[in-house]
């Protein structure tokens, strides 16, 4: 497909008319159509202290929410897909939507000394499977609920929260210490793979939609 210069030019002119901007003031148009930065985000794992319950004193944790938000450096795997149902009819094949499936999110954290990032994430991992007692979701550690809702919030160029992706029913399935090497010049990291039941994205200003989600999914907010 050839690049249509005229169509692009008309798009900008139409945009200028709708926004009541002189077409010669191109800087205003580019500002209006600015994009999110890949580095403009924060991650929150609310109520993780509640998950850990009685082990808080054992591990001497600091403020857990702030620790993980500050330590997070990279997030991948925020997506879902719909599997297809294949139907064969003679020589033809038709497709229908089937079950949804989420991916596995990976969050990399700086291994902060004061924040005890490694200990904190390891303790959360123990709520999934505890190698010390050989049990799944140890109620002594996990309490009634080891799953939590993770929020990945995208910021605009003024650092205002604009979009939030919520990972409902999230729990860790892999905890790993990043590469340790004398040849590197970087912080040590902790990588955590997280499985989740559902991902929903919406604008941070859409409080009505957020309340609606909360009514549909009680206990996972």
Give the contacts of 219 (CB within 8 A, at least 6 positions apart): 145
pLDDT in tens, 62-96: 444 577 888 999 999 999 999 999 999 999 999 99
- Cβ-proximal residues to 40 (8 Å cutoff; 6+ apart), any chain: 154, 155, 156, 157, 159
pLDDT for 85 equals 96
- Report the alpha-carbon distance of residue 173 to residue 73 in Å, rounded: 19
Spatial distance between the Cα atoms of 85 and 99, rounded to a whole number of angstroms: 9
Under 8 Å between Cβ of 115 and 70: yes
pTM of the predicted structure, to 2 decimals:
0.73
* pLDDT computed for residue 81 by the predictor: 93
- Per DSSP, the three-state class of 17 is helix
Q: Which domains does the chain have, with CATH numbers?
A: 37-216 (2.30.110)
Q: What is the mean pLDDT of each run of 10 residues along the chain (221 residues)?
A: 56 60 56 80 75 47 65 93 95 94 93 83 84 72 68 89 91 92 93 93 74 59 46
The residue with tokens 């992706």 is 165
Q: Give SS3 for 106.
A: strand
């Amino acid at each position: 497909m050839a690049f249509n210069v005229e169509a692009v030019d008309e798009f900008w002119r139409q945009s200028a008319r709708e926004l009541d901007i002189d077409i010669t003031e191109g800087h205003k148009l580019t500002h209006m159509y600015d994009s999110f930065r890949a580095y403009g985000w924060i991650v929150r794992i609310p109520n993780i202290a509640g998950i850990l319950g009685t082990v808080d004193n054992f591990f001497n944790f600091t403020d857990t929410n702030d620790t993980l938000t500050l330590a997070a450096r990279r997030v991948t795997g925020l997506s879902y897909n719909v599997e297809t149902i294949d139907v064969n009819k003679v020589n033809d094949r038709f497709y229908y939507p089937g079950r949804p499936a989420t991916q596995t999110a990976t969050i990399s954290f700086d291994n902060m000394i004061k924040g005890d990032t490694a200990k904190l994430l390891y303790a959360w991992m123990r709520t999934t499977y505890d190698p010390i007692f050989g049990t799944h979701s140890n109620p002594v550690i996990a309490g009634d609920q080891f799953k939590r809702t993770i929020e990945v919030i995208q910021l605009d160029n003024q650092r205002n929260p604009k979009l939030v992706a919520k990972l409902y029913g999230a729990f860790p399935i892999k905890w790993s210490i990043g590469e340790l090497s004398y040849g590197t010049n970087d912080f040590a990291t902790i990588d955590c793979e997280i499985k989740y039941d559902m991902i929903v994205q919406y604008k941070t200003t859409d409080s009505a939609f957020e309340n609606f989600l909360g009514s549909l999914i009680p206990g996972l907010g």
